[in-house]
Structure 1
Amino acid sequence: MQSESLQQQMNITFPQTTQTIVPLDTSCNDLHDGDSPRPRPRDRAESVNTLVDEEKGTIAQPIERIKTIGWDGPDDPENPKNWSNRKKWIATTVVAMFTFISPVSSSMIAPALEQVGNDLHVAPGFGQSMLLSIFVLAYAIGPLFLGPLSEVFGRTKVLYLAYLFFLVFCLACGFAQTQGQLLAFRFIAGLGGSAPLAIGPGVLADLWPAEKRGKAFGLYTAGPLLGPAIGPILGGFIAEYSTWRWVFWSIAIYTALMQIAGVFALQETYAPILLARKAARLAKEARESGNADNLSLQPTQTTPPLPQLIQRALKRPFYLLLTQPIIQALALYQLYLYGTIYLVLTTFPIVWTTVYSESPGVGGLNYLSLGLGFLLASVFASRLNDKIYIHLKSTRGFGQGRPEFRVPMMFPSSLLVVIGLFIYGWSVQFRTHWIVPNIGSFLFATGTIVSYQCSQTYCVDAYTAVAASAMSAVVTLRSLAGFGFPLFAPAMYDALGFGWGNSLLGFIALGVGVPAPLAFWFFGEKMRMRSSEARSE
């Protein structure tokens, strides 16, 4: 079903002619997902990107006798959902690799904080924790702009430009001479590095139908969680055998290589942009062929102007976060997950270098337990997620998919988070063999990424047409937790110890993480039905 306001936003008009070429409204471009189309909202003019006139850069109102330009049937090869599996997986992998390196940068400096403190005269405790966390604070701001802009100018342009920004300021971090410079450069690099966190879900929603989306998200969501676990391993050896400055320079080198690979491997996926290009191409061909003598790209009254369109897009994440119960619930749920992850990551250097007296390089190897949990859960849980979705769609949905069909795996994963935290905390408290806290870390990581993966896919399934803006709202709130939680971690563990400190996290996980899936399962559909933005089936 199409929205009238969406069609107005995407029309090219040609005055004084009997034929006008416009792109078909594809804001609901997931109609091949096997799900019911979204209901017509009251006002959705801000929900898709504009069609820009190739000469004037403006948007025209529709006039009489419009020829609609859409996909050439359900099997149109230009539709990203009909790309070959190879092409779609290449694009998914590139986005996942973009998403991986930014979280690596967020934590890679952790084992070298003592070196940084000595060189730049940064006091231990809060000062050094701020150097680590300031990067994640930028995650709470960048997505509010980058996600919506990708729904105006397209996914690839915003992603490439933002990551160029990230590359430049990662390089600058390696040349910082004062604490203030490093804080500023880390924050600005974080703004650019937040782009794939906001744009990546939109790319996957463009590419994959709902029945196959879980597997793609399994690869994508590994980045934000696997990155913070892998980063300290690499950073520990770099800090031990080189200087902390090479932590940032190595990230810049990797980012430059990914930028080059992305240019060749990642094409635009956002359907309104692709159809806008198609409409402009057909209009140009019509003029050149002489088949339409009066065909002109001189638009009539423009509505809305591009600045107004950008303004609407930038307001969208705030609107979603303030008015959508599903977004609020998912944001709070991921806030708890993300904050807990960064609290645990903050304790790791202390546990292995202080409690177990290991060198920074050897101590960093213990992050493999987290990385292994993240990786195995991403591979196996994502496949199971899609199978459960398809099964429930046929048995309980009567052929109709629902975002709530992503919830069942969150029940056991939430319990794994609780169990892992208790094992990790008390084994460190009593200084058991090093394998025991690693087992607890593995269980915690496994439960966390499954919960994270399911909640992320739930959000995209519910807000497919505006997936980038919806995830931007969620990322903003959860990133505040990733920034703030590590700042009070040293004081909490000094006061409570590792046993009761992690037990406190476990009790919070028991009180928040376990009831949350129940709420999504029993009340999620009711909350979506009350929303003009979420899909209602």
Structure 2
Amino acid sequence: MADWEGTIENLGSELVDFNGPDDPAIARNWPPRRKWAIIAILSTMSFVTPLASSIFAPSVPQCLAEFGSNSTILGSLVVSIYILGYAAGPLAIAPLSELYGRSPMYHATNIGFIIFTVACAVSTNLTMLICFRFLEGVAGSAVLTIGGGTVADLFVQEERGRALAFWTLGPILGPVIGPVAGSFLSASKGWRWVFWLLAIVSGSITASFLILLRETSSTAILRKQAKRARKTTGNPHFRSCLDGDQATRQAFHKSIIRPIKLLVGSPIVASMSTFAAIIYGYLYLLFTSFTPVFEQSYGFSPDVVGLCYLGTGFGMIVSLFGFGVISDRMIKMKSIKNKGEMKPEYRLPPMILGGIFVPIGLLLYGWSAEKQVFWFVPILGTAFFGFGFMASFMPIQAYLVDVFTVHAASALAAATVWRSIVGALLPLAGLPMYNALGLGWGNTLLGLLGVAMIPVPFLLITYGEQLRSNPRYRVDSW
């Protein structure tokens, strides 16, 4: 709070604003150590909540046996219902964060995540477990929904690539490492200890949030400044210059429907979200196929089969660090060539490479697994897929943040909702599709759909600026 003292400026109409672009209260002007400490704790929690989406998968048979069920649909649902929580949570979390700030939402949802995780651990029947898994997913979606907005608060455009890569490391590694850890933990301690471990780890991270996190949203910071001005001066008319004339209820209503409007009405958000949804759905579909494929076709034991997920993780990490190093450097070079102009479209070229690697990885995995080629070959295919996934996913995140800045949380929420719905539902149809078509032709079908998405980055590189400048698609006009 001390850093904000002296930043109130009465603009003659009792509006509170920052004292210029160099005001130390603006999150982008904070010391690098503070900014990177916030990114570090965000990345850590962003690892744990996606970890929760997949760590339970290997112990599903054990859980079903305890509750006396042999339904494969319920077995898939108890895993994928968490992802449906990811779809529901952003619709409220994103607008609330833009109205009241990031910090309160992080604290509330982190505590909720711990409570619902403990409830999963003590569940006495399958219905109870499924319900609390959904609520666990709702709470866990916060760091993924508003994390990009926090990055936009803390860093200028030419610095965001490295920060986004660091923040995204957690969400990418979590679903990959989850099955590896879950297979060994459930085999030795039972499925309930999967949730107890998540509760213990998330509890420690929540304590770090309470100690280290500071509010980064300029809207929330100025609103607090205005409240302080009203209290110290006795003048009830002070308000933030970023607050509109709308009442809070009207502002919330406008904010809560903004992600849906963006998803439906913005060609940029619609195309980026659909691209992300397809590859995200593929990721979880592949995850559902690894266990039966490598156990039945290659004779892997239930505890060792979790290691098969590491191929995807290796490809993701290579791509992630490549993007983190290249993205900011590339955008600076392009801006120099264009007389210092920084365009969000400079983020998109890696998507072209990603769009090519995704279908290559799917085809290599599908046909080599169907023909039962040496086990390393299908895992290599998953590594190619992981590389393509990351090369596509990171530019999508960075592009949406650069384009929508103040409303980045809403844009990312729209993308999160759509990809979470696809990620939850596609695996339910995945195994029946593979049973009908086989791994080879099933993955060929998926690869062809991936090929159809390759033109998306080309189109946005060419026409993205026109779409951004078109008044019809401006967020603040909705």
Normalising by structure 2, we get a TM-score of 0.93
Write the distance in 1 (CA, Å) between the matches of 2:214 and 2:296: 48
Counterpart in 2 of 1:218?
A: 165
Q: What is the aligned counterpart of 2:275 among 326, 333, 357? A: 333
Alignment match, 2:222: 275
Counterpart of 1:439 in structure 2 is: 380
> Are the structure 2 counterparts of residues 299 and 337 from structure 1 closer, same or farther at C-alpha, using a change threshold of 3 Å?
same
Cα 1:132–1:527, aligned 2, differ >3 Å: closer, same or farther? Answer: same
89-98 or 461-470, which deviates more:
89-98
Residues 226 and 238 of structure 2 are in contact (CA less than 8 Å); yes or no, is this contact kept in structure 1?
Answer: no
User: Which of 393, 416, 421 lines up with 2:357 in the alignment?
Assistant: 416
Task: Return the offset for 1:366.
Answer: 1.8
Q: Report the Cα distance in structure 2 between the residues aligned to 1:454 and 1:534, rounded to whole angstroms.
A: 21
TM-superposed deviation, 1:462: 0.6
Question: How far apart in 2 are the matches of 1:326 and 1:232?
Answer: 34
- 1:376 Cα shift? 2.3
CA contact (8 A) 1:104 1:228 kept: yes
Q: Conserved in 2, the CA contact under 8 Å of 1:23 and 1:279? A: no
Counterpart amino acid of 1:178?
N
Please give the alpha-carbon distance, in whole angstroms, between the structure 2 residues aligned to 1:229 and 1:462. 30
Count of residues paired in the alignment = 465
Alignment of 1:190-339 (within 5 A): 190-285=137-232, 287=233, 295-297=234-236, 303-339=245-281
Q: CA deviation at 1:124?
A: 4.0
Unaligned runs of 5+ in 1: 1-20, 25-64, 288-294
**1:245 Cα offset (Å):** 0.8
Tell me the alpha carbon deviations over residues 165-194 of structure 1, each in whole angstroms, 9 at most, x when there is no partner.
111111111111212111111111111111
Q: Is the 8 A contact 2:10 2:16 kept in 1?
A: yes
**What is the SS of the residue equivalent to 1:76?**
coil
1:181 partnered with 2:122: no
Counterpart pick for 1:519 among 459, 467, 470? 459
Of the three residues 402, 416, 420, the one matched with 1:479 is 420
Residue of structure 2 aligned with 1:504, choices 438, 441, 445: 445
How far, CA to CA, are the matches of 1:532 and 1:503 in structure 2? 36
Q: Provide the residue aligned with 1:150 in structure 2.
A: 97
Shift of 1:372: 1.7
Counterpart secondary structure, 1:463: helix
Match of 1:133 among 80, 91, 99: 80
Asked if the contact 1:370/1:445 (under 8 Å) is kept, the reply is: yes
Alignment of 1:115-126 (within 5 A): 115-126=62-73
- The whole-number CA distance in structure 1 between the counterparts of 2:226 and 2:119 is 43
After TM superposition, the structure 1 stretch with the greater mean CA deviation from structure 2, 486-495 or 385-394, is 385-394
Preserved contact between residue 156 and residue 268 of structure 1 (Cα < 8 Å)? yes
The corresponding residue for 2:397 is 456
Q: TM-score, normalised by structure 1?
A: 0.83
Q: Partners in 1 of 2:95 and 2:212 — Cα distance?
A: 23
Structure 1 stretches of 4+ with a deviation exceeding 4 A read: 21-24, 282-285
Q: Indicate the percent of aligned positions where both proteins have the same amino acid.
A: 35
C-alpha distance after superposition, 1:472-499 (max 9, x if no partner):
1111111110011000011011112222
Deviates more, 1:209-218 or 1:358-367: 358-367
Match of 1:391 among 333, 339, 344: 333
Q: Deviations over 1:286-308 (max 9, x none)?
A: x3xxxxxxx522679x9533333
Quote the Cα distance in structure 1 between the aligned partners of 2:10 and 2:133.
42
Distance 2:10 2:320 in 1: 37
1:24-82, Cα deviation, whole Å (9 max, x unpaired): 8xxxxxxxxxxxxxxxxxxxxxxxxxxxxxxxxxxxxxxxx325543333332221101
Q: CA RMSD in A?
A: 2.0
**Following TM superposition, by how much is the alpha carbon of 1:373 offset from its aligned partner in structure 2, in angstroms?**
1.7
**What is the CA–CA distance in structure 2 between the aligned matches of 1:472 and 1:449, rounded to whole Å?**
19
Please say if residues 229 and 235 of structure 2, whose CA atoms lie closer than 8 Å, have aligned partners that are also in contact.
no
Consecutive unaligned residues in structure 2, runs of 5 or more? 1-7
Q: Give the secondary-structure state (helix, strand or coil) at the position aligned to 1:357.
A: coil
Distance apart, 1:310 and its partner CA? 2.0
- Please say if residues 353 and 391 of structure 2, whose CA atoms lie closer than 8 Å, have aligned partners that are also in contact: no
Partner of 1:12: none
* Greater Rg over alpha carbons, structure: 1
Residue 403 (structure 1) aligned with residue 350 (structure 2): no
Q: Deviations over 1:505-537 (max 9, x none)?
A: 11211122x11111211122222222453699x
* Alignment pair present for 1:470 and 2:411: yes
Q: What is the correspondence of 1:90-101 to structure 2 with a 5 Å cutoff?
A: 90-101=37-48
Contact 1:110 1:349 in 2 (8 A): no
Separation (CA, whole Å) in 2 of partners of 1:273 and 1:214: 25
| Distance across 1 between alignment mates of 2:140 and 2:269 | 23
How many angstroms apart in 2 are the aligned matches of 1:343 and 1:377? Answer: 21
Q: Deviations over 1:60-109 (max 9, x none)?
A: xxxxx325543333332221101122211111111112221111111111
Q: Which residue of 1 aligns with 2:51?
A: 104
Kept after mapping to 2: 8 A contact 1:125/1:490: no
Q: For residues 282 and 535 of structure 1, what CA distance do their matches in structure 2 show? A: 27
The CA deviation at 1:395 is: 1.3
- For 2:366 and 2:295, the matched residues in 1 are separated by 16
Which one has a larger percent helix, Structure 1 or Structure 2? 2
